[in-house]
Structure 1
Amino acid sequence: MDSGARGRRLRRRLALGAAVLAVSGAFTFTATGAAQAAGAAGGCAGREVRTLPFKTGVTHVYQSNAYVCAVTVPRNPGAARTMSVSVQARGNRPVVDKGRYRYHAGPVTVHAGHRCVWIKGAVGRYATSSGWILC
């Protein structure tokens, strides 16, 4: 195995570890009132700053301090179907949750600081994309 492949694998593992720490840190600072709102949002902390509706669902975007979180919810929950949600801070790779879910995809949280973010969400074959927002 060459050193380039080994370096890429190490960077992927470090990025995953940083994402796990960011998510756990975001949940640690959740206050009781925000925790109740987070339960309804599928696990996102903070205040809702955008709603991105599309034909088969809605992607909700939340912001708390320097963190941005998103969750995609189908219009008709219950049946398992392909769903996804992604959040990308400008200059970084997107963090994605994609799979077959019944009630929601996500939450996906990233540390954005003061950078713009790009949010995408999909349920089935219909999707939404925000463009660069929250700049």
Structure 2
Amino acid sequence: MDSGAIRRRLARGTAVLVASGLLALASPGSADAAPTQCVGRKVKVLPFGTGTVQVYKRNGYVCAVTLAERPGRRTAMSVSVQARGNRPVVDSGQFAVRAGPVTVHAGHRCVRVSGSVGPQSISTGWILC
């Protein structure tokens, strides 16, 4: 095979990869495919009046996300995870769907999780010990 044929094959392969990547980014269901963006096993669901905090755990890491009960309109939302002995990791602001995800390395330590949507909130004591 001469060098021209190799270059053509590489160019064709690159074009296919770029096109498939663009299609994956443009697909309408891509936002719904991973609503939380946390990895691991869901270990807690903390419902409250205006939303829910979901807590995930994997390989010593704890991840949390706050989901609004009625997504769509931007409102004050927050999520916080704190491993015992460390400072909390917080994501807060004006969001339409969710706050977070926030992830901390907890190892075998307890964590404290809190979240809020609008005026209502939830907070745990030390959990996952």
Question: Could you say whether these structures have the same fold, taking a TM-score greater than 0.5 normalized by the shorter chain as the test?
Answer: yes
Unmatched 5+ residue regions in structure 1? 1-35
Please tell me the residue identity of whatever aligns with 2:79: V
Runs of 4 or more consecutive aligned structure 1 residues displaced over 3 Å after TM superposition: none
- Counterparts of residues 85-96 of structure 1 (less than 5 Å): 85-96=79-90
Choose between structure 1 and 2: higher helix proportion: 1
Q: Is the partner of 1:120 in helix, strand or coil?
A: strand
1:66 partnered with 2:60: yes
Using the alignment, how far apart are the partners of 2:113 and 2:52 within structure 1? 12
Q: Is the partner of 1:73 in helix, strand or coil?
A: strand
Please tell me the residue identity of whatever aligns with 2:121: A
Q: Which residue of 2 aligns with 1:129?
A: 123
Q: Is the partner of 2:66 in helix, strand or coil?
A: strand
Q: Is the partner of 1:106 in helix, strand or coil?
A: strand
Using the alignment, how far apart are the partners of 2:89 and 2:35 within structure 1? 18
1:40 Cα offset (Å) = 3.3
1:78 partnered with 2:55: no
Measured against aligned partners, the alpha-carbon deviations of 1:61-118 in whole angstroms (never above 9, x if no partner) come to 0001100000000100000000000000000000000000001000000000000000
Please tell me the residue identity of whatever aligns with 1:86: S
CA RMSD of aligned residues (A): 1.6
Percent of residue pairs identical: 60
Q: Which residue of 2 aligns with 1:97?
A: 91
- Which structure is larger by alpha-carbon Rg, 1 or 2? 2
> What count of residue pairs does the alignment treat as equivalent?
99
Q: Which residue of 2 aligns with 1:51?
A: 45
Could you tell me the TM-score, scaled by structure 2's length?
A: 0.74
Classify 1:67/1:41 alpha carbon distance in 2 versus 1 (closer, same or farther; 3 Å).
farther
